[in-house]
Amino acid sequence: MQKQIKSALISVFYKDNLENIVKKLGEQGVTIYSTGGTQKFIEELGVKCVAVEDLTAYPSILGGRVKTLHPKVFGGILARRENPQDLEQLKQYEIPEIDLVIVDLYPFEETVKSTTEEQAIIEKIDIGGVSLIRAAGKNFKDVVIVASKDQYADLEKVLTENNGATTIQDRRNFAAKAFEVCANYDVAISQYFLNNEPGDYFQVSAPQGQVNRYGENPHQRGVYYGNLNEIFNKLHGKELSFNNLVDVDAACQLIREFTETTFAVIKHTNVCGIASRSTLKEAWDAALAGDKESAFGGVLVCNKTIDKTTAEAINEIFFEILIAPGFEAEALTVLQAKKNRILLEQKQPVSSKYMFKNVLNGVLLQDGDNGNYKEWNDVGAHAATAEQKSDLEFANIVCKHLKSNAIALVKNKQLVGKGCGQTSRIDALRHAIEKAGQFSFDLKGAVMASDAFFPFDDCVRIAHEQGINAVIQPGGSVRDNDSVEFCKQHDMVMVMTGMRHFRH
């Protein structure tokens, strides 16, 4: 059923792109009610407007906190047009029907980002706007609600193509978007009062950035909710897919752990190559050497600006994505030669204060895995040397970013072997050793990191046979002493961190 818009209430904070709508309503003879700055804006366009104060016979009071909260406004919005009693009361109290409500909300989230002054933030908690949105949305059978400037184009299309008439589906669609606006707003306010800590309800609200081509597999639908533009400048390439986004997150979570010049290669969220060196080109060469096979089609990430020399070296392999804090102009020219290759300039770190996943029709939430990697207890044959300490710290960070069960073998701040996603720790070690052998790495003098404790001494025995001379692990097994005693007897360093890094 179509309904003609004959009257409208407009009260907005943002006037952007509102001009055409106001003029169109004026041309269609719609009676417009408005307040304050919006009223002035409308009248300056040469369109007639009735002040809400004239409708209610009450002025705007309490410094503007109360303007539209009045029965003559809400009665006109909430009245059910098919209900004779409602219509009789409108007539009795001289309340006009209101067919269209255009209102947005005070910029609460923007204010929180721009100041810590509590009073300024509190004043941006909208009351009247939310009430108007909910009222109009509830009565969508009769009323059109436009709750954001992002919907102005949709409204203008309806006004132009249908000459101000709307269908029930039009009104339902506008209402659905309006309630989303309110929900997002309420979550932002709630999180402010909770200091962004978890409360009694799981609350997350993020804007829809893009619809993916598909999800993890082609038969699955995929949508990304968030704002990639806050984190990256996309300099080149195709759209990021669902799997791309998962890998990019893993890459960014990893690289934020390093300050020394570091390059890493990610494949299916696991690190397959990583190294720290004095120059970026050297770091790239060492990272690639760690597993040239797995690097094919991977996601590359570094923490320094990409120069031309490094770009030319990277350009020799096929990769999906390259993430860096900057790109020299000559480097971009080299890397942009292939059109689908995605180049992301990272503007800010990726936050990991909380992590969550959906399970069993509910949500699991936990703190981000942010640990101190430089504190441990030496429990082996002797304390670690300065060189061993450097490699042990590096290995521990890398191992944290591998799927459990995980083992990382490191030598001279280069990942030389890794085993991940295994159902036993000894299998993870065997896989790591096999990988090291595949690319001809000598494990003599290497270090080993484990994401969890060793239940037996089998892993340190095998490591010793390979020439590995230092081990970092969290400890915590009832049989820790078996591994400790083996290290003591065979002149091996073992350090215990007391911090496990499972990654399921």
| pLDDT digit string, tens, across residues 197-229 | 888 888 888 888 788 889 999 999 999 998 899
Question: What CATH number should be reported for the domain whose range is 377-496?
Answer: 3.40.140.20
The one catalytic residue in 138, 141, 304, 490 is 138
Q: Do the domains 377-496 and 231-346 match in fold?
A: yes
What pLDDT does residue 372 have? 65
What average pLDDT does the structure give for the chain? 92
Q: Which of 75-79, 102-106, 142-146, 371-375 has the lowest mean pLDDT?
A: 371-375
Average pLDDT over residues 497-503: 88
Q: How far is CA 223 from the centre of its chain?
A: 12
Q: In this model, does residue 335 exceed pLDDT 90?
A: yes
Amino acid at 174: F
Give Cα 68 distance to the centre of its chain: 36
Indicate whether 61 pLDDT > 80: no
Catalytic site includes residue 268: yes
- What is the token pair recorded at 326? 């900057």
CA dihedral 191→195→199→204, nearest 10 degrees, is: 30
Q: Are 469 and 492 in contact (CB under 8 A)?
A: yes
Please provide the DSSP assignment of 220-263 as one string.
S--EEES-GGGTEEEEESS---HHHHHHHHHHHHHHTT--SSEE
Cβ 307 vs Cβ 234: under 8 Å = no
Residues 6+ apart with CB under 8 A from 291: 265, 272, 273, 415, 418, 435, 439
Question: CB of 369 within 8 A of CB of 352?
Answer: yes
| Residue (of 260, 253, 256, 321) closest to 286 by Cα position | 260
pLDDT of residue 304: 97
Is 401 among the residues known to form the active site? Answer: no
How far, CA to CA in Å, does 403 sit from each of 95, 153, 222, 421, 423?
A: 65, 46, 23, 5, 11
Phi, psi angle pair for 33, to nearest 5° = -110, 140
The three-state DSSP-derived secondary structure of 303-366 is CCCECHHHHHHHCCCCEEEEEECCECHHHHHHHCCCCCCEEEEECCCCCCCEEEEEECCEEEEE
Token pair of 128 as six digits: 């009247």
pLDDT at position 63 is: 77
Percent of the chain with pLDDT over 90: 74
pLDDT at position 35 over 90: no
Residue 14 pLDDT more than 80? yes
pLDDT at 67 over 80: no
Residues, the chain: 504
Lowest mean pLDDT segment, chosen from 122-131, 160-169, 233-242, 361-370: 361-370
Q: What average pLDDT score do residues 273-299 get?
A: 96
Q: What pTM does this model have?
A: 0.86
Distance of CA 298 to the CA centre of its chain: 21
Specify the pLDDT at position 37: 87
The pLDDT of residue 57 is 77
pLDDT at 474: 93
CATH topology for 2-194 is Rossmann fold (3.40.50)
pLDDT exceeds 90 at position 196: no
- Render pLDDT for 233-264 as a digit per residue (tens, 0 to 9): 999 999 999 999 999 999 999 999 999 999 99
Query: Where is pLDDT greater, at 200 or 135?
Result: 135
Fold of the 231-346 domain: Cytidine Deaminase; domain 2 (3.40.140)
Active-site hit among 15, 268, 403, 488 = 268
C-beta neighbour count of 293 within 10 angstroms = 10
Region 282-301: mean pLDDT is 95
pLDDT score of 64 more than 80:
no
* Rounded Cα gap, residues 199 and 490, in angstroms: 51
Q: Whole-angstrom Cα distance, residue 19 to residue 23?
A: 6
pLDDT above 90 for 495 = yes
pLDDT higher than 80, residue 10: yes
127 burial level (CB within 10 Å; 0-12, 13-18, 19+): middle
Q: Any idea where the domains of the chain sit in the sequence?
A: 2-194, 231-346, 377-496
How high is the pLDDT of residue 59?
79
| Residue 485 in this model has a pLDDT that exceeds 80 | yes
